[in-house]
Structure 1
Amino acid sequence: MPKQPILVTGAARCGKSEWAETLAMTSGLAVTYIATATIDPSDADWQARILRHQQRRPATWQTILAVEDLASTIERAGDKECLLVDSVGTWVANLLDRSDAEWEDLTHTLLAKLSGSVATIILVAEETGWGVVPAYPSGRLFRDRLGMLSRQIGSIAGTVYLVTGGHVLNLSQLGQKLGEGERLLKSLNPVKM
């Protein structure tokens, strides 16, 4: 039976990866950490960030690098596995050079694999676009693609968490999925003929 994914979203350095790691640890399943970042030895800051993430993870976790082909990695997971995908934003950044049609195909395939997976899947996604519109086309493209993909994942997720200000909010308990509001309003105010 397919399981609904879990989405953990939030701003930079807010603790979203730590919360996702906590969820994975408490799953009771074998955890596979799906890293989407490429390793750049010339970028010391990036290397330090990756090292901090590695040091927090238990030694028993397997790590797989999925820079581009995230859907196939998800497809191979079994029902006794927990996949922790960190992060959706980095995966989007890796594929910014793809055309709109290619991007649509990639996201359609990813969402289909997420919807059909029997594994427990926790995805970490960055929140962007809460401020100034990026001045460069690539920044706008990244913001728009990540925002739409997070929305699409959130629509199929069983639980969505927002991590901000050092606190975790379960948005699935506090709010409603976009689109449900329209159905609720229609049921409360039926169109009279």
Structure 2
Amino acid sequence: MPDRTLILGGARSGKSLAAERLLADVPDVLYVATGGDDAGSAEWADRVAKHQARRPPTWGLIETIDLIPLLESPGPPLLVDCLTLWLSRTMDAHDTWSDLTRSPAIDQAIADLAAAWSATPRRTVAVSNDIGAGVVPADPGTRLFRDLMGRLNTAISLTSTTALYTIAGRTLPLT
């Protein structure tokens, strides 16, 4: 089975840099950006530009949340950045924010992604935010997102060959 690595951490902890370092010696990585374009946001455009500037020019790029076909097909290593934005955009696609109950469609999307992750024929590295270690969110939407993020991270972590945690630029193995 190919190596499947999940890198968790908080905001701005160095997760993406750690993922890029893991694949730095591979010339043909496919970088999978799940964030969308957030048109009109100068701050988002700056973030994207910094990520792009760090990547080798030989790496490919695809912007999508449709991860399962990529995971199911053979090809070069994947760097998925990030699962947190995948979940947010998947919740958008299923209109979860207007009905803040647990959606069977979201639960199924998480299960399907975890199944594809566990069986992928590719070397794969994914980045995801650990958002469950803080204060309980005050509003139902953020609590739902936090809970689903925890379920997603757990499902992916338990089917990974390696799980890492990044904090303050340091990356530690999770055993």
- TM-score over 0.5 for the pair: yes
SS of the equivalent of 2:133 reads coil
Q: Deviations over 1:111-143 (max 9, x none)?
A: 111111110010000010211111122211111
Q: Which amino acid aligns with 1:35?
A: A
1:16 Cα deviation from its structure 2 partner: 0.6
Q: Deviations over 1:29-84 (max 9, x none)?
A: 620000001102211111111111111111100001113x1112222233xx1100
1:3 Cα deviation from its structure 2 partner: 2.3
2:144 is matched with 141
- Measure the CA separation in 1 of the matches of 2:3 and 2:156: 10
SS of the equivalent of 1:160 reads strand
Show the 5 A alignment for 1:55-134. 55-67=53-65, 69-78=66-75, 81-97=76-92, 98=94, 100-134=103-137
2:99 is matched with none
**Residue 16 of structure 2 contacts residue 127 of structure 2 at CA under 8 Å; is this kept in 1?**
yes
- Measure the CA separation in 1 of the matches of 2:27 and 2:4: 15
Identity over the aligned pairs, expressed in percent? 35
Show the 5 A alignment for 1:148-187. 148-172=151-175
**Residue 161 of structure 1 contacts residue 171 of structure 1 at CA under 8 Å; is this kept in 2?**
yes
2:31 matches 1:33: yes
- Measure the CA separation in 2 of the matches of 1:54 and 1:45: 14
Count residues with an aligned counterpart: 167
Bigger relative CO (Cα 8 Å, ≥ 6 apart): 2
**Residue 29 of structure 2 contacts residue 59 of structure 2 at CA under 8 Å; is this kept in 1?**
yes
**Residue 29 of structure 1 contacts residue 82 of structure 1 at CA under 8 Å; is this kept in 2?**
no
Pick one of 50, 53, 62 that aligns with 1:52: 50
User: RMSD of the alignment, in Å?
Assistant: 1.4
- The higher radius of gyration belongs to 1
Q: TM-score, normalised by structure 2?
A: 0.90
Q: TM-score, normalised by structure 1?
A: 0.82
Structure 1 runs of 4+ aligned residues shifted over 3 Å read none
**Residue 3 of structure 1 contacts residue 118 of structure 1 at CA under 8 Å; is this kept in 2?**
yes
Q: Which amino acid aligns with 2:10?
A: A
Show the 5 A alignment for 1:1-16. 2-16=1-15
Which consecutive residues of structure 1, in runs of 5 or more, have no partner in the other structure? 173-193
**Residue 7 of structure 1 contacts residue 159 of structure 1 at CA under 8 Å; is this kept in 2?**
yes
**Residue 32 of structure 2 contacts residue 78 of structure 2 at CA under 8 Å; is this kept in 1?**
yes
